[in-house]
Amino acid sequence: MTLNLDFFKKALEDEKKKLESELGDIAVRNPEQLSDWNVTYPDMNIMSAAKEEVADQEEEFENRSSLELGLESRLRDIAEALARMEKGKYGVCAVGGEEIGEARLKANPASVTCVKHGN
């Protein structure tokens, strides 16, 4: 089977842009390590020190932190898939060395394992 690498590269790059945009809404890049993102505090225009408002801001920060971890993890997976593509190893199962099926890659272009070795 020959994969249409252009199709998968575009899918990965499109998802990368989307993830970076979503991360940009809740975090900023770490200038010392560009693949790392730091969550920003939400701007909730808190004028008073009311406990409820401060608690709401803390809760929103925690929500952002959780979301950031998932987005950053997925972005890392995408970057690794693009690197495998550059090395000519894209679409090869990291466990058994066999080809990853096209259907699996269409469902998740960053897949590192075939169906047999996937979780």
The pLDDT profile of the chain, 119 residues, written as one tens digit per residue, is: 678 999 999 999 999 999 999 999 999 898 888 788 988 877 756 555 666 777 787 888 898 999 999 999 999 999 999 999 999 999 999 999 999 999 999 999 999 999 999 86
Query: Cα–chain-centroid distance for residue 72?
Result: 5
Residue ranges in the chain assigned as alpha helix (H): 5-26, 51-86, 102-107
Per DSSP, the three-state class of 63 is helix
Tally Cβ neighbours within 10 Å of residue 1.
7
CB-count burial class (<10 Å; 0-12, 13-18, 19+) for 119: exposed
5-107: CATH architecture: Up-down Bundle (1.20)
Total-model pTM = 0.82
